[in-house]
A and B are shown apart, each in its own frame.
Chain A
Amino acid sequence: MIAIVDYGVGNLFSLTSSLKKIGREGVVTGDADILGRADGIILPGVGAFGDASDKLRQSGLFDVVKELASNGKPLLGICLGMQLLFERSYEYGEHEGLGLIGGSVVPLKDYVEGLKIPHMGWNSLDIIIKDNPILKYTGDGDYVYFVHSYFGLCKNGGELVATCRYGRDVAAVVSRGNIFGTQFHPEKSGGIGLKILQAFCQYAEGGYVC
């Protein structure tokens, strides 16, 4: 069973539908026990970082997710959920993240010039670190769907798995051990996206072996 963290942020209809499509049961939950029993956890999210991290705290799940992931539970953060994995964000002020991936989240507009913000649409992946479990079925140049105005600046080179090009290299996939994050929406990235979700589920079901 894959648990989708429900903390009042974002639209989970597509995510649950896409898990169903790949033959998985996605349980939308805010219950710490269910999160603890899940093979893997997906942390979704849309909107603003500060609001989302506040809601995650208010629901009491901030520490739960952080602790489970730190103890080896497979975790996949999607879009804002991926940004929440970082140490901090500078979206409207400064906000603390889960600190599971090193680095911070910064505004795209300060780093790229003359490009439209949000970075919205299909962009191709440049895979930097091969053999990441969730990219088992994904190749260099595969297109995935992005919608974001902020991006993660990785502190540790080893955690930046794939990028896309938007005026500069933008973190598309980050990972550290059992922790994964995609800036794009796999649930909106057609067949390529479904395969990324499938690879994460297989990894999660495999008993946390890298």
Chain B
Amino acid sequence: MLAKRIIPCLDVKDGRVVKGKNFTGLKDVDDPVRLASFYSDCGADELVFYDITASAEGRRLFADVLKSVAENVFIPLTVGGGINSLDDFDRVLKCGADKVSVNSGAIANPALIYRAAEKYGDQCVVLSMDVKRVDGRFVVFSHGGRVETNIDAVEWARFGQDNGAGELVVNSIDTDGVKGGFDIEMLKAICDVVTIPVVASGGAGGIPHFIQLFKNVNADAGLGASIFHYGETKIDQLKLALRNAGIEVRL
């Protein structure tokens, strides 16, 4: 049986991992290569790296980090952050990424999804979306959740799928960093309309939140950052608890 995946997310800035609350107040956590190996040993099913630097120097450091991780950790690696063109896809794939996640780049240029899928295959293209409630509607935000786009999240998810995205990462701005649980209502609205895998993100604060997610939503994976970085929740314990709750996981 296909297992539900647990995915730690590492935001990388200047070669270090950071994670903020509601996207602000970044705090240094750990060395990416060490953290990645640690997670892989604990049973993480995949790793997501977001490059949150904009400078050329930051990009170079990120490429170095990615290469070292890919040389030492043999689970799937997804890379996001600053992906605006096919050249950006190429740049990170060459450093060992397996999947590339586009967010603002796809909002600015929706054809990027199709063109990347055509060139690298659907399995390589992940559409990542930051979603927030605005007047009772689920709306996509760009630029790390700072800019409202007026794009309907459910429509955008469907557009991504129809244009060749092989997976969605759906992040709730409303629940991100709050640790009160995943945004079940919003995730359900999206999972109900797509037939590609969905990674749920934003709000994980403990083991019960993951159980609640997989019991209520047809999501394929749960993503977390600070919850794992600070050791509040151990991945091996989380997966054991999921299995005990009747949820298929890789142990």
Q: Which of A14, A116, A187 contacts B196 (CB 8 A)?
A: A116
Q: Which residues of the other chain, B, contact A148 by a CB distance below 8 angstroms? A: 123
Enumerate chain A interface residues (CB-CB to B < 8 A): 11, 13-14, 17-18, 20-21, 46-48, 116-124, 143, 145, 147-149, 165-166, 185, 187-191, 193-194
Q: Do the beta carbons of A11 and B96 come within 8 Å of each other?
A: yes
- For the complex formed, measure the closest distance between the CB of B42 and the CB atoms of chain A, giving whole angstroms: 11
Q: Which residues of the other chain, B, contact A47 by a CB distance below 8 angstroms? A: 120-121
Q: Which of A11, A122, A185 contacts B3 (CB 8 A)?
A: A122
Nearest residue (CB) in B for A16 is B71
Chain B: residues with Cβ within 8 Å of the partner, total of 32
Q: Which residues of the other chain, A, contact B2 by a CB distance below 8 angstroms? A: 119, 121-123, 166
Asked if B212 CB lies within 8 Å of chain A CBs, one says no
Q: Do the beta carbons of B166 and A120 come within 8 Å of each other?
A: yes
Q: Which residues of the other chain, A, contact B221 by a CB distance below 8 angstroms? A: 121
A interface: dominant SS: mixed
Q: Which residues of the other chain, B, contact A121 by a CB distance below 8 angstroms? A: 2-3, 5, 45, 197, 220-221
A117 to B220, CA, bound (A): 12
Asked if B98 CB lies within 8 Å of chain A CBs, one says yes
- For the complex formed, measure the closest distance between the CB of B194 and the CB atoms of chain A, giving whole angstroms: 8
Q: Can you list 10 A-B pairs, Cβ within 8 angstroms, ordered by A?
A: A14-B98, A46-B120, A117-B196, A120-B123, A121-B3, A121-B197, A147-B76, A148-B123, A188-B75, A189-B74
Q: Do the beta carbons of A14 and B3 come within 8 Å of each other?
A: no
Nearest residue (CB) in A for B43 is A190
Q: Which of B5, B67, B76, B123 contacts A118 (CB 8 A)?
A: B123
* CB under 8 Å from chain A, chain B span 1-23: 1-3, 5
Known A-B contacts A122-B2, A148-B123, A149-B122; the reply to A194 vs B74 at CB < 8 A is: yes
Q: Do the beta carbons of B76 and A188 come within 8 Å of each other?
A: yes
Interface centre among A18, A116, A120 (most CB of B within 10 A): A120
A20 to B72, CA, bound (A): 10
Asked if B115 CB lies within 8 Å of chain A CBs, one says no
Q: Do the beta carbons of B122 and A116 come within 8 Å of each other?
A: no
Q: Which of B45, B70, B94 contacts A122 (CB 8 A)?
A: B45
- For the complex formed, measure the closest distance between the CB of A140 and the CB atoms of chain B, giving whole angstroms: 13
Q: Which residues of the other chain, B, contact A14 by a CB distance below 8 angstroms? A: 70, 74, 96, 98
Asked if B151 CB lies within 8 Å of chain A CBs, one says no
Beyond contacts A48-B121, A116-B196, A124-B3: 9 other A-B pairs, Cβ-Cβ < 8 A, are A14-B98, A47-B120, A118-B122, A118-B166, A120-B123, A123-B1, A124-B1, A166-B2, A188-B74
